[in-house]
Amino acid sequence: MSNFLKARLRSFAYAFQGWAYVLRNEPNAWIHAFVTVLIIPLAFWLHLSARDWAVLLLAIVMVWAAEFFNTAIESIVDLASPEENPLAKAGKDVGAAAVLIAALTSILIGLLILGPPLWKKIALYLQ
């Protein structure tokens, strides 16, 4: 049992090393981090329902996961094909497109969930 727990702790350490790698090497990850840090306090301030929180968190996680997968794809492609190759480019471009789709979808989700209660709060302050 002790070895099992040690192995699980090591796997968490590897995962956090991967997260740190993305933050160190992917400038877009800082955009995701910035937006995440803005959206979560805003959602608290708006007193979202549990269902809205669930959808919002899924949208945030979808973008982060897409960014992590894209970084993994880019790293593997760079290792396997250090020279320029049309298939390597296609793989990288498709990974980037996945992040773009996730980010655009999360913006729409954010507007749908945060927009109405935010407008109500803004309207109260403007009265």
Tell me the catalytic residues. 67
Phi (first) and psi of residue 125, to 5 degrees: -70, -30
Distance CA 32, CA 38 (A): 10
Angle (nearest 5°) at CA 103 between 123 and 47: 35
Sign of CA dihedral 91, 14, 24, 54: positive
- Residue 14 near residue 53, CB atoms below 8 Å: no
